[in-house]
């Protein structure tokens, strides 16, 4: 059995935007008779049946909808972003549909395409593949820079934050720097690809680098194990950057178990700015990402797209900054 025909399929078949298909299927104004008929003919050829949810949105009240693909519901960083997105969207009169980043992107789009106007998430991989998969549905890609029409982005200035952190650690006496990176897999062989954070870190520390250990998973336990391995391999390390705050919490916990004084023997820094970092002893120093700003700028882009009738326009790009939260771990 083939996949269900979506509103994006009809739009591609008729050569119009998703919003034009919505207007045609619901007999709305601002569309010519010939265009409406072209859309209806395309829908008939493809056997398209509009989403009941989408019809309800149109018939009850014209409400724009945003589809947020959440990278992980187990990581508070991503759920905090989702909470800020929901709050900001409610203030602006947008609906938000949440979906887990589980399975193929094409399957996620299959679930969301007939119900949302804009897709938002942390999407990796080649931009061309993402645009092809989205088939005309506008995308706001988080924590990256998009360059193709139809793909927009909110970038985090994390490289500057890492450079600032390394400079401040040097002022506090650190001389030998190590890192725990996230071991994301690519492809069937599970090959490790260094994250951008690793590259920024290695350039910032230069010849003061002791080494990098790759965690099996970006969790508390994964971070704790990798931190211990880093110190075993490179015992002269006196400052460690963890890929994210969850992993850094594991590092602080494992330091206790190993009898390593933090920050006297080694300084630990995370990335994200989770309030959970205040719950460990010593409290976690972190490079804090402005998650509210991330959500706000995403919704700004979504509203610009709404004004453009969700057409495939030139990339819109926004940036949010980071801030050092100095606590006792560093």
CATH number at residue 313: 3.40.50.2300
Note whether 237 and 167 are same-domain residues. yes
**In terms of domains, do 45 and 101 share one?**
no
pLDDT mean over 289-305: 96
- State pLDDT tens for residues 228-261: 999 999 999 999 999 999 999 999 999 999 999 9
Q: Which domain holds residue 3?
A: 1-62
pLDDT in tens, 98-117: 999 988 887 887 788 778 89
- Tell me the pLDDT tens digit for each residue of 60-81: 456 799 999 999 999 999 999 9
On whether both 29 and 115 belong to a single domain, the answer is no
Residues 267, 195, single domain; the answer is yes
Give yes or no for residue 57 having a pLDDT over 60: no
Q: How confident is the model at residue 208 (pLDDT cuts 50, 70, 90)?
A: very high
Exposed/middle/buried for residue 277 (C-beta within 10 Å: 0-12, 13-18, 19+)? buried
CATH number of the domain residue 34 falls in: 1.10.260.40
- Structural domain contains residue 329: no
Note whether residue 327 is domain-resident: no
- What is the mean predicted confidence (pLDDT) over 142-170? 96
Quote the number of domains for the chain: 3
Q: How far apart are CA 27 and CA 33, in angstroms?
A: 10
**Residues 267, 173: one domain?**
yes
Residues 168 and 281 in one domain: yes
* Same domain assignment for residues 260 and 165: yes
Residue 233 in any domain: the answer is yes
Q: Do 53 and 111 fall within a single domain? A: no
- pLDDT tens across 117-155, in order? 999 999 988 888 888 888 778 999 999 999 999 899 999
- Which residue among 38, 62, 86 closes a domain? 62
* 222 in the same domain as 279: yes
pTM of the model: 0.81
Give residue 53's pLDDT band: very low, low, confident or very high (50, 70, 90).
very low
- Say if residues 118 and 302 touch (Cβ distance below 8 Å): yes
Of 40, 62, 84, the last residue of a domain is 62
Q: Is the pLDDT of residue 186 over 70?
A: no
- Please indicate, yes or no, whether residues 117 and 262 belong to a single structural domain of this protein: no
Are both 74 and 124 inside the same structural domain? yes
Q: Is residue 1 part of a domain?
A: yes
- 46, 62, 78 - which closes a domain: 62
Output the six-digit token pair for 194.
């260094």
Q: Encode pLDDT of 263-277 as tens digits.
A: 999 999 999 999 999
Q: Are residues 225 and 198 in the same domain?
A: yes
């Amino acid at each position: 059995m083939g996949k269900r025909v979506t509103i994006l399929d009809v739009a591609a078949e008729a050569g119009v935007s998703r919003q034009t298909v919505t207007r045609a299927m619901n007999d709305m104004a601002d569309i010519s008779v010939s265009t409406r008929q072209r859309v209806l003919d395309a829908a008939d050829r493809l056997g398209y049946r509009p989403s009941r949810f989408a019809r309800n949105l149109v018939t009850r009240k014209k409400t724009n909808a945003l589809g947020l693909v959440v990278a992980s519901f187990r990581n508070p960083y991503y759920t905090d972003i989702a909470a800020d997105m929901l709050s900001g969207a409610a203030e602006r009169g947008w609906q938000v549909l949440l979906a887990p980043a589980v399975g193929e992107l094409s399957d996620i789009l299959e679930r969301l395409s007939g119900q949302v106007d804009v897709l938002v998430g942390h999407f990796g991989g080649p931009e061309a593949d993402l645009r092809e998969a989205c088939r005309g549905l506008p995308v706001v890609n988080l924590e990256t820079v998009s360059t193709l029409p139809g793909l927009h982005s909110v970038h985090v200035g994390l490289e500057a934050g890492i450079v600032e952190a390394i400079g401040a650690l040097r002022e506090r006496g650190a001389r030998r720097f190590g890192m725990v990176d996230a071991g994301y897999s690519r492809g069937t062989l599970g090959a490790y690809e260094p994250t951008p954070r690793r590259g920024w870190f290695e350039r910032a520390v230069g010849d003061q680098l002791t080494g990098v250990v790759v965690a099996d998973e970006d969790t508390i336990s994964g971070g704790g194990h990798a931190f211990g391995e880093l110190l075993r391999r490179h015992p002269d390390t006196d400052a460690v950057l963890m890929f994210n705050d969850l992993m850094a919490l594991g590092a602080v916990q494992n330091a206790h178990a190993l009898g390593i004084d933090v920050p006297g023997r080694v300084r630990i820094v995370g990335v994200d700015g989770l309030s959970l970092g205040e719950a460990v002893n010593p409290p976690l120093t972190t490079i804090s990402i402005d998650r509210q700003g991330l959500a706000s700028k995403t919704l700004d882009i979504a509203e610009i797209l709404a004004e453009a009738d969700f057409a495939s326009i030139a990339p819109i790009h926004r940036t949010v900054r980071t801030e050092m939260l100095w606590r006792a771990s560093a």
